[in-house]
Amino acid sequence: MRRRALKRREFIGLVGSAAAWPLAARAQRTAKLPVVGFLGANTLSTQKSSTDAFVQRLSELGWTDGRNLIIEYRWAEGRFDRIVSLLADLVGMQVNVIFTHATQNVIAAKQATSVIPIVFAAAGDPVGNNLVASLARPGGNVTGLSLQSIDLAGKRLSILRELDPGLHRLAFLANVDNPNSPREAVELQALARPLGVDVMTSQIGRADDIAPAIEALEGRAEALYVQTDPLMNTNRARINELALDAGLLTMSGFREYVEANGLTSYGPNFPDLFRRGADYVDKILRGAKPGDLPVEQPTKFDFIINLKTAKALRLTVPPSLLARADDVIE
């Protein structure tokens, strides 16, 4: 990974120079090998474990970056305003496959090309968001793995209630630009209402919105349900810091939140999704059509608890929850 990143930095530094790596030579090189355009929704550091899992699985399937395959990485860094230009770059290169994740990225990729195969490692409600015609028969040029984030709202709410049986006020931190936000908010409210839990939705659209949104919740909510979203993922450390200052329990769907001092997370194992996404890429590179490859569901889920954060919140985690956790951070 470091070797590829170094070459990219060197290339950028030499652009415009007469001594730069000739574009013709690069074009000749990539023309001989299949090219996978990798559009990461976050930063490299945020999704390193998932990216590594993708590359490792490709290697197991016989594809090695720089030997018989080229992977062109682009990072949106949690900013959806960058997606269109990044995709235009990859489409302009005529990559063989676009590999990405996050619903907004997949929607943008589908709008950018109807010819290049698109594989998503994780996307919410692929049918409802018109990414595919059906899970069994996607049709078109898009396929991959469903995130099922909305379907997991009940499980996450149940964990929060076990952590705090007196929970009555829950805030849902959502990205206003995420097409899954309205459906997830409705599902969360429907599940919370019979339990006597009021849900308020706090919407943000950029990193600068995070602090005022969370600070406004102090005294108005007891817990914060963080949407699984690239904007949130990239800014997870800041979200957790502010939530802790406000005395809010936090629930997310991404284990890296908990590693960044969040309280707990429950959701699909992202490295596993990216590994399985590599299987789709392999099949397409060997001639399969994306429209013939059914969209699959997550099969591996992670439940993580951070006891250090629980202690800071003066919260006692029930032994029954600790026994069920896949990982406990102390």
Query: pLDDT tens per residue, the chain (330 residues)?
Result: 334 444 444 433 433 433 333 444 444 444 589 999 999 988 888 899 999 999 999 999 999 999 999 999 999 988 888 999 999 999 999 999 999 999 999 999 999 999 999 999 999 889 989 999 999 999 999 999 998 767 789 999 999 999 999 999 999 999 999 998 998 999 999 999 999 999 999 999 999 999 999 999 999 999 999 999 989 999 999 999 999 999 999 999 989 999 999 999 999 999 999 999 999 999 999 999 999 999 999 999 999 999 999 999 999 999 999 999 999 999
Sequence-ordered list of residues with C-beta below 8 angstroms from that of 314, at least 6 positions apart, any chain: none
CATH code, residues 150-268+302-329: 3.40.50.2300
Q: pLDDT for 105-135, tens place per residue?
A: 999 999 999 999 999 999 988 998 999 999 9
Kindly report, residue by residue over 89-108, the tens digit of the pLDDT: 999 999 999 999 999 999 99
pTM score:
0.84
| Domain boundaries 2-148+269-300, corresponding CATH code | 3.40.50.2300
Domain boundaries, the chain: 2-148+269-300, 150-268+302-329
3-state secondary structure the chain: CHHHHHHHHHHHHHCCCCCCCCHHHHHHHHHHCCEEEEEECCCCCCCHHHHHHHHHHHHHCCCCECCCEEEEEEECCCCHHHHHHHHHHHHHCCCCEEEECCHHHHHHHHHHCCCCCEEEEEECCCCCCCCCCCCCCCCCCEEEEECCCHHHHHHHHHHHHHHCCCCCEEEEEEECCCCCHHHHHHHHHHHHHHHCCEEEEEEECCHHHHHHHHHCCCCCCCEEEECCCHHHHHCHHHHHHHHHHCCCEEEECCHHHHHCCCCEEEEECHHHHHHHHHHHHHHHHCCCCHHHCCCECCCCEEEEEEHHHHHHCCCCCCHHHHHHCCEEEC
pLDDT in tens, 261-287: 999 999 999 999 999 999 999 999 999
